[in-house]
A and B are shown apart, each in its own frame.
Chain A
Amino acid sequence: MTGKNTKTQEEIVHDLRTRVKLEEYGVENTQSTDYPGTYEHYDDSWDFEKFKKNFKIDIKSYSADKMEMEFDMIGIDASIANSFRRILLAEVPTMAIEKVLIYNNTSVIQDEILAHRLGLIPLKAGPSKFKFKLNPEGDNNEDDTLEYELKVKCKMPKNGNKEDRKSFIDSKVLSSHIKWNPIGNQAEQFKEEDVCPVLGDILVAKMNPGQELDLKLLAVKGIGKDHAKFSPVATAYYRLLTEIVLKTDFYDEQAEKLKSCFSPGVIKIVEDKKKEGRTKAVVDNPRLDTCSRQVYMFDEFKGLVEINKIRDHFLFSIESTGAVTCENLMKESINILMMKTQNLLNEINSKKN
């Protein structure tokens, strides 16, 4: 067994270059070291053709409503992958309610809390069709502001019972109560369902009969850096692909035990073709592993199972809040990154002269 498990110098260097090693109590080799000059006999200089050959995007799942996407991004450095994540969270713009004009609010919820809650409701309005409103005190134009109205009055039904809260009409103020008021030529450009809240069943406030809300809501374009309500994603994150190496074969009970050490679906038990009547553990889907590393808790597996992460294989996942589809979010984030690098280039070039 030992002979099989000792690695050659070449294998060790290869691991060092491409793998993050998960140990029992920590993580090793998290940094990428494949820079020119680090290793002998390796050409690590950056080359576009080489990058083109190695780089791959593989969409693993994409929900039918285009709100959730998981894809693999292979052959890229963590800094770039992280840039996309950061841009998605903080710099891709969306529309959100920014100003609430309160004409009447007799409900128990305070004005400022109500306004805060309304601001967090995601809107369907496509941000690309609007401009940033540069002067917050300026006029509301058709190309930078969306206007909504929330006018609800809770009523008691005829012959209603005071105790029966469920019978009250409009006791629950929902996001579906928000109505759009087109300004300028917006009526020709959009339909109500293009700009309304993503979900109609978000609870905004609760009222008793006689209480009412009369509000005007103004939505503008903004970015997540300014306020979380402008963030286009519920979350966007990545993780590295896990690689599980079984250095020896595990059979029967031991195989079952090994299986229980990983998340369901990671290890599969198959019948061993060579040895009849015996079952064997094989790695099935390492993507599902949550890196709990239970396997290291048992002495019998120590040294025989190796868990690695492939350093340039990112399992990216994006959950949109509803305004922009995941693919457009990703495209937009690439555009923003390109714009930023172009700005930097221009800056450098202007200094040169």
Chain B
Amino acid sequence: MIQEILLPGHLYLGVLAERLHQTLIKLTKKLRYIKALATSKSSDNKLCQGIPKNMEICHVPRIDMEKNTYSLYPGLYLFTTPGRMMRPVKNLMTQQTEFIGTMEQCYLHVCVKPEEFVENKTSHSELYPYSFMSVVACLTPFSEFNQSPRNMYQCQMGKQTMGTPCHSIQNRADNKLYRINFPQSPIVRTKIYDHYKLDDYPLGTNAIVAVVSYSGYDMEDAMILNKSSFERGFAHGMVYSTEIVELNDKSFGSSKGKIFALDPRYPKLGEKLDKDGLPYVGSIIYPGDPFYCYLDQNTGEYRVQNFKKLEKAYIESIRALGSDDGTDPLNKVAIMMSFNRNPIIGDKFSSRHGQKGICSRIYPTEDLPFTESGLTPDIIFNPHGFPSRMTIGMMIEFMAGKSGAIYGTAHDATPFQFEGGQSAIDYYGNLLKKAGYSYYGTESMYSGIHGRQLEVDIFFGVVYYQRLRHMVSDKFQVRTTGPIDVKTHQPVKGRKREGGIRFGEMERDALLAHGTAAVIQDRLLNCSDKTTEKICTRCGSFVSISKKNSHLTCLLCGKNDALSNICIPYVLKYLVAELASVNIRVKFDTTQARITNYSVEP
């Protein structure tokens, strides 16, 4: 029987059924050969014409020889459509780079190492052993030594670093842009750093790190920063933000005719704002300062808008925006500001191994331990961060970074390069040993506080540290008293509004379990919506009390002889009023209540 091989609409060839399998294998091989040839630039082989270099050739055999089962949809599939994901591998037949697709690769045997090659089966090999990893994953040095979840954490955190987002900050108007001021190229780096030219966009600093429990401020993932390093610029950063001010914003329904202008009646305003009613470029503006001033031409009134942000800002630039034809008067501007974000207690840092930490203290240099060569660490990292997390890659980075700093070279830390031969620890240990340092990367240190030598050797080295964009100045919340909700008289929520943090049912439950009734009363009543209300002890109502002939009277009883003060949460009054509106009367039994004041107001 003749089997037909069809390409869309056309009979391509017909073969005998029993030879179909062999023919398809041959055909696939041939197609792949031509495709691989087409990939190489120099090829002007006539064979390649008509075969795109990004064609996906997928042969699904009728019978899976290995499992000895029938395939579901056998056939030879060819894809040439755009929008498919493809990746480069090496074609072992032609020794050229070939792009393979997602379906195609399921039916190919791709080896990673030469040892994995199987005769008559392996057709491709990976270009690099780390080909399976993404760009962010490739940024972790010595990642093959780390426990795998740590590498995943680093992939998350790598995206949160304050780095160098672009070189065109002056010309941009981003809502928020984080940037560090004195970045460095890492000493310990993978090949990807060069391939993607990441030195043009550095995202950290080579920090001198000591692994020691010093002063207790480095407990539980906290880290101590050296005050002198900080003062010399370590991890200094800034945040840019742009505010677009549109005076005649149609969405607010305001009419036309507002323009930026300085109010001439207040000469003091001129100290902060320029003649055009906008702040001076380069000036510092504090919360509450005048931000801009405008004139409403309809009413002839000047208005000053104050600066609402909670931090001081530097005015970087002001750009006049407006209609496309540029004929509108000045009524729309983009004001770019920068905020100083030098490290403070509570800021987040991380190495490249999923080891994040919070700066818990900025410690004076003279108090920090120093080595035999007089070096004080920039960062103190707590040794308890290592045993449970098993980030051996970070320990190797310590040693590699240290030896790189000593010899003045950058070390290649691409994963999977230390397989088989010498171990990474031995390699860097020997480098350190040759330079006169301890093979293990440790150093004896002296306490900066009492001046004696420390009784243990300290693991000491250079690690590339990233500053993460989570900063306390964006997050801290503080409230003693402040704005309250109009309806309930309870504290409002939200950091921006100077609100409180919700004390919810679960928190209440916890305090109940502790039996701390006074604390509950403090949280839920005294610090919340405590009010004193008049109540009629006879009818048990406090919504019925009103002034009658300038005397407080209970409108239900028509008398005022049973009025007294009672202390309640304001929401209770609100609830009773709401219930009254749907004809539900709430009656309070005050016989048990501790009545505070019996006297009836005149």
Q: B-contacting residues of A (Cβ < 8 Å)?
A: 20, 22, 25-28, 30-32, 78-79, 81-83, 85-86, 89-90, 102, 105, 108, 110-113, 116-117, 120, 224-225, 227-229, 231, 235-240, 263-264, 290-294, 297, 309, 317
Contact = CB atoms under 8 A, between A and B. Distances in A.
* 4 residue pairs, one from A and one from B, having the closest CB atoms: A82-B451, A237-B374, A228-B228, A228-B231
B438 A240 contact: no
Contacts of A309: 453
A20 B447 CA distance: 14
A78 B452 contact: yes
A31 B454 CA distance: 10
A294 B373 contact: no
A78 B451 CA distance: 5
17 contacts: A26-B457, A27-B455, A27-B457, A30-B454, A30-B455, A32-B452, A78-B452, A79-B451, A85-B366, A86-B366, A111-B282, A113-B236, A229-B232, A236-B374, A237-B370, A291-B443, A294-B438
A22 B455 CA distance: 9
A27 B456 contact: yes
Contacts of A20: 453
B364 interface: yes
Nearest to B169: A108
Contacts of A290: 372-373, 436-437
Give the interface size bracket for B toward A.
35 or more
Contacts of A25: 456-457
Contact of A292 (B231, B366, B439, B453): B439
Given A90-B365, A227-B231, A228-B227, A26 B436 contact: no
Contacts of B540: none
A297 B438 CA distance: 10
A116 B236 CA distance: 11
Contacts of A263: 436
A31 B437 contact: no
A26 B454 CA distance: 9
Given A30-B452, A120-B232, 9 more contacts: A27-B453, A81-B451, A82-B446, A82-B448, A86-B366, A110-B338, A224-B366, A228-B232, A236-B374
Contact of A317 (B228, B340, B374): B374
A29 B205 CA distance: 37
A225 B363 CA distance: 11
Contacts of B181: 113
B496 interface: no
A199 B374 CA distance: 23
A215 to B, nearest CB: 12
B428 to A, nearest CB: 14
Nearest to A261: B433
Nearest to B283: A111
Contacts of B232: 120, 228-229
Interface string B442-473: 01101010111111110000000000000000
B463 to A, nearest CB: 20
B438 A292 contact: yes
Contacts of B170: 108
Contact of B456 (A26, A89, A108, A231): A26
Interface in B372-395: 372-375
Contact of B450 (A28, A82, A264): A82
Contacts of A79: 450-451
Contact of B366 (A81, A90, A102, A108): A90
Contacts of A117: 233
Contacts of A317: 374
B450 A78 contact: yes
B314 interface: yes
A110 B179 CA distance: 12
Contacts of A26: 455-457
Given A78-B450, A81-B451, A89-B366, A294 B439 contact: yes
Contacts of B340: 112
Nearest to A235: B374
Contacts of B372: 239, 290-291
B364 A225 contact: yes
A83 B170 CA distance: 48
Nearest to B229: A228
A291 B442 CA distance: 10
Nearest to B445: A27
A236 B433 CA distance: 25
Contacts of A240: 453
A259 to B, nearest CB: 12
A154 to B, nearest CB: 17
Given A31-B452, A110-B338, A292 B437 contact: yes
Q: Which of A28, A229, A292, A297 has the most CB of B within 10 A?
A: A292
B353 to A, nearest CB: 25
A68 B453 CA distance: 24
Contact of A294 (B366, B433, B451): B433
Contacts of A235: 374-375
Nearest to A297: B439
A137 B452 CA distance: 42
B439 A90 contact: no
Contacts of B456: 25-27
Interface string B250-277: 0000000000000000000000000000
A292 B232 CA distance: 30
A133 B312 CA distance: 27
